[in-house]
Amino acid sequence: MTRPDVTVVVAVYNTMPYLTECLNSLVKQSIGQGRLEIVAVDDGSTDDSGAELDRFAERYPGVVKVLHQANSGGPAAPSNRALEVATGRYVYFVGSDDHLGREALERMVKCADEHGSDVVVGKMVGTNGRYVHQALFRKSDPDISLYDSALPFTLANTKLFRRDLVERYKLRFPEDMPVGSDQPFTIEACVRARKISVVADYTCYYAVKRGDASNITYRADHLSRLRCTAQIMEHAAELIEAGPKRDAVFRRHFTWELAKLVQDDFPSLDRAVQVELCAGIAELADAYFTDALRDSMDVRRRVRIALAQRGAVDPLIRAIRDEAENGAPPLLLEDGRAYVRYPGFRDPALGLPDRLYEVIGEAVPGQLADGTGLVSATWEQNGDDMAVSLAVRVPVTGDTASATVRLADRAMPRSADKPGGRRVPVGTELPPPPGQSGQEPTADGGGTVLRARVPLRPVRARLGVRAYLDVAGSTYEIPVKTQGVPLPLARRWREKVPYRVSATANAKGRLVITTAPLWGPPPGGARRLRRVLSRVKRKLTR
């Protein structure tokens, strides 16, 4: 019998009816059944999965091989058993509740053969709400590195592996890990591979979230996930020496696996579990949380990891709850730096460095926009001169000399017209500064009130009110919400050509200043009048 090009390994446990679609997507692959071997291992299923596998084996003899065994508690043992009988030049792993694009195997095998790849990653997408990290799939690439790509965020074993590599290094799945058992296998394969390629111009893999959310990843408890993450990181540390390469891989584990342990559900856990989680995170952080890795993370996750590392359970709970209820804390601007004042900031009892709380190369629209709103607005008129005096609260304290309120005679870009501010692209021309401005701390010390007196020009315009803030080297544009503050009554000004000025809230509750002449047609009226006259003229000439 000719050696197949690829063996597809399917570990199966109670995945009906998804299993049928999975198997159909395999036997109908464009690579052809003559080049394909499917090894499915039934891990003690109690539904109809075992019978469905046998049905496919009977229908596709020589292509589908089925093994039955007692339940092992996870996908590692059945995957290992399948590897013992696999004969293909390559081996590919697929979840039994997922399915492949029709040309997936043909395209990945072709890529591996053309480029001499030991590992090929085919584009994956999530379905039914399943999240799949997409950064790796922006473009096809015949040669990527584990250390300078998004590959560390795509460590599932759903890849094409050269079987010679697998057998040369005796790569197998640790059977004592209920979740994440594919990561040690994948990491080691990628470390030892001569070449890793990405096929991104075709959707190879459809990852399915089951309707009952019974995927094993969603069922594991916090302590099990912590233990498995520690095992993954310890295994990787044996393969990758300390330094930038290891940091590049472990950034995933600190920002993903470990950060997920201190999310919104952490405050509701038993106190003993909270303490144990913090102790486990501390052990890993003490070993692997380098300064460079810390600085590469976003400030929210970085602070939570650091609080757990200190064993500061109560400040950690407060940080999670406060942000869930009130949004991100206010920013402190100081000497050109920006700090997010999460619990523990400059707390002498904890002694955490300011650097943990600093905004480093990340956008911070949430911290700037939450709580930004109008305090007061009044008209000021002196003869033919009209101005609007505004007081706007922003959740920023400290050195806010670069913060100002301005009127912009243009709409927010549609992509940025959403809750939160936007980071203004370098070189963007900003509206002119107001005639005069000032600032003072809010009564509660949690922000700053910006005051501005902005002259108005006698033109027809809808002027958006924005706050502009310079934070850590970037300028942010934040629409100002009225937040229920009474708006001043409409006024008219100028004697020869009177103008009307009014303040309104648009559909999103944002403050808009409108100016228009009292004489002449309303906005769009001239165009409507011309259309009416044109229709009348056509009727008269018939």
Given a contact cutoff of 8 angstroms between Cβ atoms, the answer to whether 57 and 31 are in contact is no
**pLDDT surpassing 60 at residue 132:** yes
User: What is the per-residue pLDDT for 218?
Assistant: 46
**pLDDT surpassing 70 at residue 524:** no
101, 216, 534 from 14: Cα distances, Å: 23, 11, 71
Average pLDDT of span 15-25:
97
Q: What are phi and psi of 281, to 5 degrees?
A: -65, -40
Helix (H, G, I), strand (E, B) or coil at 470: strand
Which residue has 């165009």 as its token pair?
Answer: 527
Q: What is the mean pLDDT of the chain?
A: 90
Single out the residue of 155, 148, 181 nearest to residue 247, CA to CA: 148
Task: Return the bridge partners of 499, or none.
Answer: 493, 517
Average pLDDT of span 435-447:
85
> What is the tens place of the pLDDT at every residue in 271-286?
999 999 999 999 999 9
Tokens of 357: 């709380």
- What's the residue count for the chain? 542
> What is the tens place of the pLDDT at every residue in 455-498?
998 888 889 898 888 887 788 888 899 988 999 999 998 767 88
> What is the tens place of the pLDDT at every residue in 161-170?
999 999 999 9
> What is the tens place of the pLDDT at every residue in 231-273?
999 999 999 999 999 999 999 999 999 999 999 999 999 999 9
Q: Which of 307-321, 332-346, 519-533 has the lowest mean pLDDT?
A: 519-533
What is the rounded CA–CA span in Å between residue 65 and residue 83?
12
> What is the tens place of the pLDDT at every residue in 391-425?
999 888 887 667 788 888 766 665 555 556 788 88
**pLDDT surpassing 50 at residue 219:** no
Cβ neighbours of 469 (radius 10 Å): 25
Confidence of residue 449 (pLDDT cuts 50, 70, 90): very high
Confidence of residue 370 (pLDDT cuts 50, 70, 90): confident
Average pLDDT of span 158-182:
96
User: What is the per-residue pLDDT for 528?
Assistant: 64
What is the rounded CA–CA span in Å between residue 339 and residue 336?
10
Q: Which of 313-317, 319-323, 399-403, 472-476 has the lowest mean pLDDT?
A: 399-403
User: What is the per-residue pLDDT for 525?
Assistant: 56
Q: Which residue has the higher pLDDT, 412 or 131?
A: 131
Confidence of residue 66 (pLDDT cuts 50, 70, 90): very high
